Amino acid sequence: MTVTVATDSPAELSADLLLVPLPSERSDEVLSELESHLGQAARRAADDFDGKAGESLRVYADVAAGRVVFIGTGDAVADEDEVTETLRQAAAAGAAEAQSLKAERVAVLLPHVFGDAKAAPAFSEFRAAQAMAEGFTLGSYRFTQYKTDDEKAPSISNLTFHVSSTDDADSVQQGATRGVHLADATCFARDLVNLSPNDKTAPLFADRIAASGEEHGYSVEIWDLERIQKEGFGGLLAVNLGSIEPPTFSVLEHKPDDATNEKPVVLVGKGVVFDTGGLSLKDTKGSMDLMKSDMAGAAAVVGAFEALADLDVQLHVIGLIPATDNRPGENAYVPGDVITMHSGTSVEVLNTDAEGRLLLADGLSYAKRFDPELVIDLATLTGAQVVALGGEAAAVMTSETDGSAEHLYAIQRAGERSGERVHPLPMYASYKKQLESSVADIKNVGGREAGCITAGKFLEHFVDYPWMHIDLAGPAFLSSAKSYRPVGGTGFGVRLLLSYLEQYATTRG
């Protein structure tokens, strides 16, 4: 989809559909100006339109596009992050209308166009354009790879933003282009999550990562079984024992010449491409049948690298993705096994369905050789996270050390800016008592209580650097759509990471 900017009169914009954001409250002045731009029919419809956030109303008007869709932005608010999210959701509602009308060319009026404080709060055109381009692209997403229907809706080929002055054109173009890049990277992560398990073995997943790196301009190195064995990745190898496919370990790198950090930031993504639970077998309905999504943390890392490269973020970032499936094969690891991890730590396995933390622990241990400035891991790690926070936010944890509060605050702010929220959980030392083992250094599971936190405490055992753990089990995969978040993979984490890392880059150097 191409993004353009036009200064033509709104009524003369060449498009199949014109999207017009409107808030709940509009002054007579705004409505009169709307009438002067779009005609009496549009004015009468606007008079009757509630403008609630996410609502839309289709109108046939005397404009070049022929069809106008009002999209509600709700009540005026002062918080810029809330305005941004409202515009994303409004644009997603507009995208749904565009698809139902099979519109291929869509024009958008920014909320500033009528100049009323309630219609356009103090908010930059750049940020408004980015938010609406994000929401429109994310709201247009459909995963159709396995559909055999010949009659598919035409894709939206062009999105045009109207600006009233050429002075705003560059800012709007840059904001909209940025929004599309972020959304495209998120949609790629969605595609990875939504792939069928038979198309997403660890080697096939690694191939897709390598292809992404080649297309977008970041480096990728793929380790095979022999290299993984040589490096002593005991957790990854143990989980892989029941599989007929070998594991992989992907090393991604984005290293611009003018990076602001001397030491890299490392992202580690859990890449369990399908999780049966192993011999600690999952139930099928509502559990195993969703487990193609158990690599959503890895997908978020890959999507983030696409966006880092496309947006030329001046930060040195390394990505680590340990990948395998977890199956109850004839040689599968069993409860009671003691395995030796990459770090040399011995782990007593009491539940083979707590496998993701074993992969991550090897990745976190390996990350030490980069002398990282900061490490962030992302994983669909626990059902306990879903119970605690549902699909509205991911859980974030960090070691309670100097600087941890700063990292937590920064990632929460990134979540508010991006619309991908995170909520901190405590990491008191007492939680680790649940992981004490009588036969090994540590157990891979604790008790029934605080399962999300004890998983974080397990990972903490393997780090000795600034670190954050993000458990995104709830928001990574949805059973019902929520605005621009579709059923299935949501790509959660991509825009969160970019918001965080771009801000982080400005604090270095």
Burial class (CB in 10 A: 0-12, 13-18, 19+), 482: middle
- Distances in Å between the Cα of 143 and the Cα atoms of 83, 193, 249, 466 are 28, 10, 27, 37
Nearest to 495 by CA among 91, 87, 134, 84: 134
Who's near 141: CB < 8 A, 6+ residues apart? 187, 190, 484, 486
The answer to whether the annotation marks 464 as part of a ligand binding site is no
The CA distance from 122 to 112, in Å, is 9
Burial of 146 (0-12, 13-18, 19+ CB in 10 A): exposed
Q: Which amino acid is at 310?
A: D
Residues 303, 494: Cα–Cα separation, whole Å: 6
Q: For 262-316, where are the E strands, in sequence order?
A: 265-269, 271-275
In 312-466, which ranges are continuous DSSP H helix?
356-367, 383-389, 404-418, 451-460
Query: Most distant CA pair in the chain: distance in Å?
Result: 80
Neighbours of 447 (CB within 10 A): 10
Helices H / strands E in the chain, number of each = 14, 20
- With 0-12 CB in 10 A as exposed, 13-18 as middle and 19+ as buried, what is 315? buried
294 is in an annotated binding site: yes
Instruction: Find the DSSP H helices in 315-403.
Output: 356-367, 383-389
Distance between CA atoms of residues 293 and 364, nearest Å:
21
The 10 Å Cβ neighbour count of residue 161 is 26
Positions marked catalytic: 282, 357
Q: Confirm or deny that 355 is annotated as ligand binding.
A: yes
Establish whether 275 is an annotated binding residue: yes
List of residues 6+ apart from 375 with CB closer than 8 A: 265, 266, 267, 268, 364, 367, 463, 465, 466, 467, 468
| Contact of 300 with 494, CB cutoff 8 Å | yes
Burial tier of 236 (Cβ tally within 10 Å: 0-12, 13-18, 19+)? buried
Kindly give the residue spans of alpha helices, DSSP state H, lying in 111-256: 125-139, 169-194, 202-216, 225-231, 234-240
Instruction: Give the separation between CA 437 and CA 232, rounded to whole angstroms.
Output: 22
Q: What residues form the annotated binding site? A: 270, 275, 294, 353, 355
Q: What residues form the annotated binding site for Mn(2+)? A: 270, 275, 294, 353, 355
